[in-house]
Every structure is written in C-alpha cells, then in structure tokens.
Structure 1
Amino acid sequence: MPIQTVDYSAHDAPQRFVQSLRDTGFAVLRNHPLPQALIERIYARWLDFFNGDDKAPYRFDPKTQAGWFPPDVSETAKGHALKDLKEYYHVYTWGPIPESLKEDALAYHAEASHFAATLLSWIEAALPAEIAAKLSQPLSTMITDSPFTLLRVLRYPPLTGDEPAGALRAAAHEDINLITVLPAATGPGLEVKPRGGDWTPVPFESGALVINVGDMLQEATGGYLPSTPHRVLNPVGEFASQSRISLPLFLHPRGEVVLSERHTANSYLEERLRELGVKK
C-alpha cells in the first residue's frame, strides 16, 4: 500500500490521513497551514550556523540532551555499528538557542506543536472504540505543556568519498515519540519500509509535510498504528555535493503520561536513549 499524499483542506482528509498511517506508518500532507516562508528561513539560517565557527559554546549537555551534537557524537541507530553521517541541534523551548535563531525556532515550535495536536485528534477519532478506551488520556492532551517535545535541526553534510563503508546519512530506525512532523527537506533521500513491504521513497514534494507514527503511539495503541522503519540514503549526482537540512518536530508526551501497562513516556524515552548510545 503506497503512502498517501493528502490535501489537508479536503473534506475527507482526516480519514485518508489516518488510513495511510494505519497502512504504512506515514502520510504526506499538502496545503497545510504551517508557514513555508518561516520554514525556508529556518533552513537557510541554520545552514549558516552549521557552516560557521560559533557552534562550540552550544555543544549539547549530556544530562538535558539540549544543544549541538557534532558529527563525531551523532546517533548510532539501534542494531547498527556505524554512526549516522549528520550533525544536529536539539531545540527545546527551555534550552539554549543562538540568539539570532531563537525567535524563528520558537515560533515554528509553537505553531507546529499546535498543528500536531489537531492531527492527534484526527488519529484518536479514527481509533476503534476498544483501543481508544485504553488510552490513559486523549492523545492531543498528552503533549500539552510537555517539556520534551523536540525540534531537531539536522544537517547532513556533503559527501566527500571518505565516509566509512556502509555508513548512511541516517540508518534504518523508528522514531521514539508519538508522531513526527517533518517539512520537506532540502533534498530527497527519505525511504520507508512498511510492514510486509520493501524499501520505498517517501514522496518528495516541496512545501509538503511528512507525518509518521512513533514508538510511543504504537505502544499506546497496542500496535494498531505502526512505527515504521525509515532511513535517509546517501545521495548521488548533484545532491551528493550539497548539505541536506531537515527539521523534524518530535511530539513527546509529558514524562508522567501512561502509555501502556509497561511504560510511561519517561521510562520509554530513557530506555530508547540508552539504546541509541546518546545517554548512559
């Protein structure tokens, strides 16, 4: 079943959106309300930051996970031996942000979080009654005032030809959170592997949003909605010599939110961060 591209303004958008998540773990939304000019400005200004010499003071705090993660401490996807070919910055509303980048980053964080609450309401309304009844609270309220919702600004640097054999911009992984809101990046490469299917490219459409299910939503729905493996391949041709900027917003519940009999949001997050090697 292919990933659906859904017109956010269409009358049947909620149903088609959730069905695509159910089938593949992913959906693409066009004609959404998030401001494209703001997204493009963030891309351009953060690329300047990554290319500049002023990153060191913002190196991440291992305790809070806020700040800049250099390429040499990048994530190693669960089950993989090589680090991803990327650097990134963790933007939290309470964390350090370079002053020249702060206003746009926080504005986007707020707008995209509000938008995500609408999408979570769509999802909950479409759940079978027996699954919805097991939720500890409405999905949209799980993220209310959460300090853990994370805006990650990613830079995949140009390829040099000296990369370790087998290293990818992002090896196959699943996201930890409830849902991820991802504007189209500055280049293609994102692929997904739905249940029972083969690796397939996620439609790359400028101005669109990619939404995917995370492990926490899979956990909260007892597997009804799948958290699907995805990866970012190393490009060839003109894109190989260019940086790729990506801006995922990971919608995390508050730490005390009960996901299932096994996990709160906090216990699940701590477990996964240890598996990724970014937290002891």
Structure 2
Amino acid sequence: MQNIPSVDLADFLSEDPKKKKKFIDEIGKAYEEIGFVALKNHFLSDDLEEKLYTEVEKFFQLPVETKKSYERPELGGQRGYVSFGKEHAKGKKEGDLKEFWHFGQEPSNDAELTETYPENVVVKELPDFNETGMEAYRMLEKTGIYVLRALALHIGLQENYFDHWASNGNSILRPIHYPPITSEPENAVRAGAHGDINLITLLMGASAPGLQVQRRDGQWLDAIAQKDELVINVGDMLQRHTNNKLRSTIHRVVNPPRELWHTHRYSIPFFLHPRSDMKLDCLDECVDDNHPKEYEDITAGEFLHQRLVEIGLIKK
C-alpha cells in the first residue's frame, strides 16, 4: 500500500495542456497537504541507480581509517566523508546512527556564481565512485528543476522562476550508511525527526524500509513508494519562501525491529539547494490578509549556515 500520493512527470513533460495541468494540480495539492510525493518517469535510470548503490556499498565497506582519511571537518561536512554519529537532528543531542558522504556541485563555466564551492573529494580506492555519483547528481538535479517548474506555476509564478537559482545551486547528494545496531540505542535512532533544510529533497529507493512522515494530526506513516519512483519532499527553504503554503513535513528514519538489527541500510537523498544569494523572502503570491507574512527576510546561504550550526556540523 502506498501512503503518499503518486504523480507522473511524463504528464508535465507531455504536449497535452490538460495532462500538464493535472500534474501541477496533483503535486501542488500533495505539497500543501502532506509535503511528500512519489514521482515516476524521472531522469534517473534503473541502471545508474543500481551502479551508484554498488559504488556506495563498496565505499562504506572500506576500513574505518581509510574512510576517515576523506573527512573534511573544516568544510562543515559539506564534502567528503562524515563519520558515524556526527550529525544530530535539530534540538537533539544524540547523534544519528549513520555515516555518510557528500557529493557537491561542480558548476558550469558560465555559472557566474557569487561564491566558490569546495571541490569534491576524490576516492582513490574506487575509480568509478566519483564519476557515478556525479552522473546521478546531474539526473536528480534535472528532475528537481522540472518539479520546481511545476510548483512555480502552482504558486502563480513564471514557470522558469527557480531555474537560475537551482541550476549550479549548492545542492548535495548524500549516500548514507546505517550500520547494524549492536547494542540498545540510548534514545538514538537512525535519523531523528527533522525537516530538511533545502528547497526539495529527491530520494531514490532505500535498501530497506524505515522512512516515516508525520501527518498534521501527529500520526507517523511509512513513506512507501514503488521501485521505479523517487520520493520527493518539500524542504524548509521552500516552506519559508512560500509562507507555509507548501509544507516541509517532519520525517524520520526509525530503527528496525530487534530481529533485523544485524542488517545494513543504505539511502541516497539529493538535497536540492539554491545558490546562496537567493532571497527566501516570503513571496507576494503567498501573502494576504488570511496568510500574513510569517518569516523575516533571509538569504539561502544565511539560512543554511544557521541550520548547519543547529545540527552540529559546524561551530558558530
């Protein structure tokens, strides 16, 4: 059973105005109500996804000292390896039961950025790791931009409103490894309840269940998608920019039942961030007498810095 709405990107890409409007209405309604959808007919092929998972598993199976040689704490964990338990959910002190890797943007020559992104860290032991990761990065970024085009139209903006900000944006592809649980966790879970920082998050199928989303009434639902679908959710930046019209839903990754503690779980989200100079001020289209402005003006870069401090990846 599927607990989140399913939408088909082929409808939006079709030449049929009715199908395009159907997609816009469906994804808009889903993001106003629950903040999550399952998306089919995206740009990430099954072969590329399978190849990426193979490379990711190879990396996390490397010796701990080898993985730690790729850790770059001076970058606030924004590139390379982040070791087990370093990150925690906002408001929690217990570290999440995970280790992860970050691939970041490699901007085009004509990007005209106001910032300089850190270079990606190259894993010498795995010759296909970085190339495969960045190939998947591009396909997920492309998919995300089309989703944002649909949302722009839903809000009442020009279709290409987000294109400049999302293209060459500060996006992150994060392969995550949740190792087997070896002892009773002290209030720790694989990923504590949180909202994502960015505009939208695109998640390919995880190697095991565990993702749950929280409904408005507080009930937790398993986020289940079909094998050929991406799970895509609204992040806090987009909720803020739309003055709460689109919902950044709290979600978590729960620990498996005790009989499955010995299992590994792999997950690969793509966090679509805009360029850091994008203003996240509440859009005029989302403010009226019934929906007064809820947030102070801030840029994406300022907001990201605040949140990285809150989740323990960088110091103040």
Q: Shared topology, TM-score over 0.5? A: yes
Does structure 1 conserve the Cα–Cα contact (< 8 Å) formed by 2:194 and 2:251?
A: yes
Q: Displacement, 1:97?
A: 2.9
* Separation in structure 2 between the aligned mates of residue 123 and residue 29 of structure 1, nearest angstrom: 14
TM-score by length of 1: 0.91
Aligned position for 2:112 = none
Structure 1 or 2, whichever has the larger Rg, is 2
- Could you say which residue in structure 1 is the equivalent of 2:289? none
Deviation at 1:7? 2.9
Structure 2 regions of 5+ residues with no counterpart? 12-18, 107-118, 282-295
1:249 maps to 2:270? yes
1:205 maps onto 2:230 in alignment = no
How many angstroms does 1:18 deviate by? 2.2
1:112 and 2:112 matched: no
2:33 maps to: 23
Describe the SS at the equivalent of 1:39.
helix
- Contact 2:40 2:229 survives alignment (8 Å): yes
Query: What residue in structure 2 maps to residue 81 of structure 1?
Result: 93
Which deviates more, 204-213 or 231-240? 231-240
Cα 1:103–1:238 shift into 2, 3 Å: farther
Bigger shift: 269-278 or 230-239?
230-239
| 1:107 counterpart letter in structure 2 | E
Given residue 151 of structure 1, which amino acid in structure 2 is its aligned partner? L
Identity of aligned residues (%): 35
What's the secondary structure of 1:9's corresponding residue?
helix
Q: 167, 176, 179: which one pairs with 1:154?
A: 176
- Residue type of the alignment partner of 2:142: H
Deviations 1:65-116 (A, max 9, x none): 211011042x110121211000000111331132430111111111111111
Give the distance between the partners of 1:238 and 1:213, measured in 2 at CA: 33
Letter in 2 for 1:277: G
Q: Distance in 1 between matches of 2:233 and 2:153?
A: 17
Matched, 1:7 2:32: no
Report matched runs for 1:187-226 at 5 Å.
Answer: 187-226=208-247
- Helix, strand or coil at the partner of 1:29: strand
Give the C-alpha shift of residue 166 in structure 1. 2.0
Q: Measure how far apart 1:239 and its partner are.
A: 4.4
Q: How big is the shift at 1:34?
A: 1.4
Contact residue 187 and residue 239 of structure 1 kept, 8 A:
no
Contact 1:192-1:229 within 8 A present in 2 as well: yes
2:72 matched residue in structure 1: 60
Could you tell which deviates more after superposition, 26-35 or 205-214?
Answer: 26-35
Distance in 1, Cα, partners of 2:49 & 2:189: 25
**Which secondary structure state, in structure 2, belongs to the residue aligned with residue 58 of structure 1?**
coil
For residues 227-273 of structure 1, the C-alpha deviation after alignment (integer angstroms, 9 at most, x for no partner) is: 11000011126643221111111011111111115210010000000
Structure 1 stretches lacking a partner, 5+ long: none
RMSD: 1.9
Q: Which amino acid in 2 is paired with 1:158?
A: P
User: Of the candidates 270, 279, 282, which is equivalent to residue 258 of structure 1?
Assistant: 279
Q: CA deviation at 1:145?
A: 1.5
Equivalent residue number for residue 141 of structure 1: 164
Q: How many residues align?
A: 271
Instruction: Indicate yes or no: 2:61 matched with 1:40.
Output: no
Maintained 8 Å contact 1:25/1:194: no
Per-residue CA deviations over 1:164-221 (Å, capped at 9, x if unaligned) read: 3221000100000000011111111100013234111111432210000001001111
- 8 Å CA contact retained: 2:199, 2:234: yes
User: TM-score when scaled to structure 2?
Assistant: 0.81
